[in-house]
Structure formats: structure tokens, C-alpha cells
């Protein structure tokens, strides 16, 4: 036993207070309860009087890993959350008005020898042999055809099948996770937090104090209080890094509408005069929103543009949200870890909001501390968090920077802005040689970067020299064979709506109780 253990007793964290519910709070509670079971006393402090932002209805494939860790049945989860399937994100009007491309999940094409498919396609594209990158993506083809099935591998080949994520109602997901967590011993404490008590000897959080005087004390605190950062910022002064010079949109307005047909298996992002609109199809409604820059568009104009564009009767009044894109300079301070909006905000352009909660929770479990929260562990958590946020930031900036729109001042300003050195280096490498490298554990793959670069009309000056080794006839045969295999696979898939009807059709929202297991 060390001197520290003798002086302080049991060093293990025995209790956790999660400040705030919503998607972040209940994801954290469910995952910690699943990981630690009865060894950890977990409480979620939240107030029914405080609403949640709830913009995270679209996800990326990693959400499947989180649900599998909890042991959730996928069909039951989709029924409980009015969920649909997602094959990627369609971007309209981003490079030029009238343009459209999809950032599809999953791989593109097939490698030959030492080279990945992108080099052969880039050589073919610059030589006039091919111009449709997405003809070689199973996900993109399925999305275009409005088809879906759970397909692990294309029959008769070694090619992988469908990669997918979900659209779902974030409020229903939080409700389902709350039920899951409470069934595993998590306590919910109703009340508004009035203050945070710090220990005078070391500045650690001792307790959060509710308005009625109750104290919620713990060894470890998880701040899921949203933009306010009640603990991480207001009590512990973590600091905030503002990225609006690169991601200038600072406002959003959301307005759901009634479900429209067909229910598409992809998110849509439609660029406008001073930002972009999202469209997220659920089983019971369509989520719509408009993200915009207040320096180029006022609130009324933004709301009018959104309402005019939605394709079904509105089911709620437009709701506005202000934000500052960026991150906490320190996402873990003392014995407090921040998650969700309390840790930072990335606009939902690439559906990363829920993923950042998930990765933060996973990182916390992997680096779970003792009661003393050693500085080396905290520093490593913050380093990894910073890297993840910065690389996602760079990917989002690319969408704004690489545009050819000349008709709107907002887009011209995006063309002219300076970009981070990390993004500039990646763009210049692609421009010069067609090469893309995924560094360490950054989120987006080489195929993801390729689709956005090509979709935004950004092509390299050269391709890899080995790509020149195939003759024109070999190129045509290789590409033709791939197209045939993928077309045949898509033809065998059912319609997206038909698949949902057969496997995971949701009951009316007022009949949903819980995620089945």
C-alpha cells in the first residue's frame, strides 16, 4: 500500500455524478453502468425545466459499436427511437449551385496490388476514362436507388457489404437510455443546480448544490450541462478555443415537419446563401434545420428560408440556437470530465455530435481514474480529445473552403479565409500528388476525404506513378467489372422503406416505452 493510499484510504472512484441529462448525460450513465456495474454509484442530476438542444439526430457507423456494447437489439432500438438507416450524407450546392455528391460510408472500389483504388480512379479521371467516383461505392449506389439491407459482404466476392448508421429521435434515444441506466442502478436526481462546491485544499469538485440546498457529492463528476459548462467552465475555468474564424456559422433554426415519402436512407445537406440546411428522415417525421452565419443573414430571413424549403407540413414552430464553434481548452480538469456540448461544439455538417459524446465516454472508460485523477492521465485524455476535435474541425472547414460559388458574399469569404496548417498540408499533398493519409486515430477515412475533395471539384495535378501501369483496356475492364458487381448487389436489395416495414417499424410515438433487449 502506498503512502497516498494509507493517508486517504480506498483510492478507487466509487461514485460519479453526471451533471445534466439529455443524450450526453444518459449515454454516459448507460455506458458507465454497463462497464462498472454495481461497483460504481452513479447519479444523474437533471431538471425537467431545462430543455436540451437535440440537434444530433443523424449518426455515423461508430454508433453501432456503442449500442452493441450496451447489448441493445438493433431492431428494438430503431422502433423505440423512430429510427431509419443512413448510408451517408448528400451535399447539394456546396461547390457550385446545382452540384450534388454524397459522402457515402464504406469503401470505394477495390485495391490492386500495392495501390488503393483512389489512385487508379484519379489517373482514369484525369485521363478522361471515367468521371463518376460514386459508381464504385456500394453505399452511394444503394442511396441513389433508395435501397437498404444488412449486407456483410457482396455474394461471390471479397468486397465488403453495406456500411450504415442511423437517423433517430435524440430525445427518444435519451429516454430509452435513461430506462436502461435506471434498470442497472443509476439514480436520477431532479433539480436545478445553484452552485458548485470545490475542496479548498486542492480545488477538486466536492459536490454540486441544488437550489433547494441538497448536495450531490461524488469522487468524479461528468459535466453534460450543455453550452453553459456549469462545472467544467463556470467552476473550473477550463477555457474555450473559438474556431469561428474557420467555421463562421453561429446560428441555427430547426423546424420539424410531417413525414414525407420516400423515407430516404441518407441525410441531406443543402447549401444556401449564408450557410446550409439539413434534412433528416425519421419514421414519424422529418427533421429540418438551417445553420447560418449571422453576419450575412438575420434570424427572420433564415427562418423564412427554412420554412419555404421544407417538404411537409411543419409540426412545431421554428426554434433558434446560438453557438460558438470550438472546444474547451481542457476537457478534463481536476476530477471533472466534460462531454457533449459542455466539451465543445461542432456544427452537425458531418453528423459528429453524438459520435463525440460516444468517443468521449469510451475514452473516459479506457482512462478511468482513481480518486486522485493523476495529471499524466488527465493530460493524455486532453491530448487525445484535442486531436480528435481538431481533425474533425479540419474536415468541416474543407467543405466551406473548397467552393467555387461566386454569387454570394458568404461563400466568397469562405474561399478567401486562411485555414489551419494541418488542413493546408493535407490539401496541398492531395493537390500535388493525389495522396491522402489518415493520421493516427483521426475519424474520417481516406475515402471520406476523397469524396469531399472530388465532390467539391478539387482534383490533383498528378496521380501515383504505379497507376500508369494499367493499359486503357485494363482500366476499362477493371472498372466495368466493378460496376457490374455493385449494380447486381444493389439490384438484390429491398427498398429502404420496405426493409423498415418488415424489420423495425416503430409504433406511434406515444406507445414507445423502452429499447428492447
Render pLDDT for 50-72 as a digit per residue (tens, 0 to 9): 666 554 589 999 999 999 999 99
pLDDT band at 126 (very low <50, low <70, confident <90, very high): confident
3-class secondary-structure state, position 466: helix
Return d(Cα 349, Cα 398) in angstroms, integer.
Answer: 11
Q: Which residue in 79, 86, 334, 426 is the catalytic one? A: 86
What's the burial of 155, exposed, middle or buried (CB within 10 Å: 0-12/13-18/19+)?
exposed
In this prediction, residue 448 has a pLDDT band, given cuts at 50, 70 and 90, of very high
The 3-state DSSP class for residue 501 equals: helix
Assess whether pLDDT exceeds 50 at residue 6.
no
pLDDT in tens, 217-265: 999 999 999 999 999 999 999 999 999 999 999 999 999 999 999 999 9
What are the DSSP calls for 354-412, one per residue? HHHHHHHHHHHHHT--BTT--HHHHHHHHHHHHHHHHHHHHHHHHHHHS----S-HHHH
For the entire predicted model, the pTM comes to 0.95
Q: Give, to the nearest 10 degrees, the angle between helix 353-366 and helix 375-401.
A: 160
Show me where the domains of the chain are located: 12-84+168-238+325-390
Range among 126-130, 311-315, 500-504 rated most confident: 500-504
- How far is Cα 148 from Cα 98, in angstroms, rounded to an integer? 26
Name beta bridge partners: 115: 112
pLDDT per position as a tens digit, 303-337: 999 999 999 999 999 999 999 999 999 999 999 99
DSSP 8-state code for residue 70: H
pLDDT over 50 (residue 18) = yes
Rounded Cα distance, 447 and 445, in Å: 5
pLDDT at res. 9? 74
Question: Cα–Cα distance between 490 and 216 in angstroms, integer?
Answer: 54
CB contact at 8 A, 225 and 339:
no
Residue 48 pLDDT level (bands cut at 50, 70, 90): confident
- Residue 462, pLDDT above cutoff 70: yes
Give helix 74-81 / helix 63-70 axis angle, nearest 10°: 110
Best CA proximity match to 388, nearest among 441, 347, 349: 441
Tell me 325's DSSP state.
Answer: -
pLDDT for the residue 516: 42
Whether 167 and 282 have beta carbons less than 8 Å apart is answered as yes
- Cell, residue 402: 473548397
For position 4, what pLDDT does the model report?
A: 47
Show Cβ contacts of residue 4 under 8 Å, excluding neighbours closer than 6 positions: 11, 372
Q: How confident is the model at residue 1 (pLDDT cuts 50, 70, 90)?
A: very low
**CATH number for the domain formed by residue range(s) 12-84+168-238+325-390:** 3.50.50.60
Residue among 76, 80, 82, 102 nearest 91 (CA): 102
Which of the 8 DSSP states describes residue 160? Answer: B
Q: What percent of the chain stands above pLDDT 70?
A: 95
Task: Identify the CA nearest to 398 among candidates 385, 372, 377, 417.
Answer: 417
Please state, in angstroms and rounded to a whole number, the distance separating the CA atoms of residues 89 and 265: 9
Residue 71 CA to residue 66 CA, distance in Å, equals 9
- For 74, counting Cβ atoms within 10 Å of its Cβ (0-12 exposed, 13-18 middle, 19+ buried), the class is middle
Q: Residues 238, 338: contact at Cβ < 8 Å?
A: yes
457: left (phi over 0), alpha (psi -120 to 50) or beta: left
Phi, psi values for residue 217, rounded to 5°: -100, 155
86 classed as catalytic = yes
Give dist(CA 75, CA 77) in Å, integer: 5
What is the pLDDT at residue 10? 87
Distance separating alpha carbons of residues 446 and 455, to the nearest angstrom: 14
Amino acid at each position: 500500500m502506498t503512502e497516498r493510499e494509507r493517508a486517504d484510504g480506498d483510492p478507487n472512484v466509487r461514485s460519479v455524478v453526471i451533471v445534466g441529462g439529455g443524450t450526453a448525460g444518459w449515454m454516459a450513465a448507460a455506458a458507465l453502468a454497463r462497464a462498472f456495474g454495481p461497483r460504481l454509484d452513479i447519479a444523474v442530476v437533471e431538471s425537467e425545466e431545462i430543455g436540451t438542444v437535440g440537434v444530433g439526430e443523424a449518426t455515423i457507423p461508430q454508433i453501432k459499436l456503442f449500442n452493441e456494447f450496451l447489448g441493445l437489439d438493433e431492431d428494438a432500438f430503431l422502433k423505440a427511437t423512430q429510427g431509419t438507416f443512413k448510408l451517408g450524407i448528400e451535399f447539394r450546392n456546396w461547390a457550385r449551385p446545382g452540384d450534388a455528391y454524397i459522402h457515402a460510408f464504406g469503401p470505394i472500389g477495390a485495391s490492386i496490388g500495392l495501390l488503393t483504388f483512389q489512385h487508379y480512379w484519379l489517373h482514369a479521371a484525369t485521363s478522361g476514362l471515367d468521371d463518376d467516383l460514386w459508381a464504385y461505392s456500394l453505399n452511394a449506389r444503394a442511396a441513389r436507388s433508395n435501397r437498404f439491407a444488412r449486407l456483410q459482404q457482396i455474394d461471390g466476392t471479397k468486397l465488403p457489404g453495406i456500411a450504415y448508421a442511423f437517423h433517430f429521435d435524440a430525445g427518444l434515444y435519451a429516454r430509452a437510455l435513461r430506462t436502461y441506466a435506471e434498470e442497472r442502478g443509476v439514480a436520477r436526481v431532479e433539480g436545478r443546480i445553484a452552485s458548485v462546491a470545490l475542496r479548498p485544499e486542492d480545488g477538486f469538485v466536492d459536490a454540486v448544490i441544488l437550489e433547494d440546498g441538497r448536495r450531490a457529492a461524488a469522487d468524479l463528476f461528468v459535466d453534460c450541462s450543455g453550452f453553459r459548462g456549469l462545472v467544467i467552465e463556470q467552476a473550473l475555468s477550463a477555457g474555450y478555443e473559438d474556431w469561428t474564424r474557420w467555421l463562421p456559422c453561429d446560428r441555427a433554426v430547426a423546424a420539424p415537419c410531417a413525414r414525407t415519402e420516400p423515407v430516404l436512407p441518407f441525410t441531406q445537406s443543402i447549401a444556401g446563401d449564408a450557410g446550409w440546411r439539413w434534412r433528416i428522415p425519421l419514421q414519424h417525421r422529418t427533421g429540418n434545420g438551417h445553420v447560418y452565419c449571422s453576419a450575412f443573414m438575420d434570424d427572420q430571413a433564415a427562418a423564412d428560408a427554412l420554412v419555404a424549403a421544407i417538404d411537409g407540413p411543419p409540426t412545431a414552430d421554428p426554434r433558434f440556437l446560438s453557438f460558438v464553434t470550438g472546444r474547451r481548452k481542457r476537457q478534463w480538469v481536476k476530477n471533472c470530465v466534460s462531454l457533449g456540448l459542455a466539451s465543445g461544439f461542432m456544427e452537425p455538417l458531418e453528423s459528429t455530435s453524438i459520435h463525440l459524446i460516444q468517443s468521449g465516454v469510451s475514452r473516459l472508460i479506457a482512462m478511468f481514474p482513481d480518486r486522485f485523477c493523476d495529471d499524466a492521465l488527465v493530460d493524455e485524455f486532453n491530448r487525445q480529445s484535442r486531436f480528435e476535435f481538431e481533425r474533425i474541425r479540419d474536415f468541416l472547414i474543407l467543405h466551406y473552403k473548397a467552393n467555387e460559388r461566386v454569387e454570394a458574399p458568404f461563400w466568397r469569404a469562405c474561399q478567401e479565409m486562411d485555414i489551419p496548417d494541418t488542413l493546408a498540408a493535407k490539401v496541398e499533398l492531395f493537390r500535388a500528388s493525389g495522396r491522402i493519409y489518415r493520421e493516427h486515430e483521426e475519424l474520417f477515412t481516406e475515402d471520406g476525404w476523397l469524396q469531399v475533395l472530388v465532390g467539391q471539384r478539387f482534383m490533383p495535378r498528378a496521380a501515383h506513378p504505379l497507376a500508369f501501369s494499367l493499359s486503357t483496356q485494363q482500366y476499362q475492364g477493371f472498372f466495368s467489372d466493378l460496376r457490374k458487381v455493385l449494380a447486381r448487389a444493389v439490384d438484390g436489395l429491398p427498398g429502404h422503406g420496405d426493409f423498415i416495414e418488415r424489420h423495425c417499424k416503430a409504433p406511434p410515438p406515444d406507445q414507445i416505452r423502452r429499447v428492447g433487449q
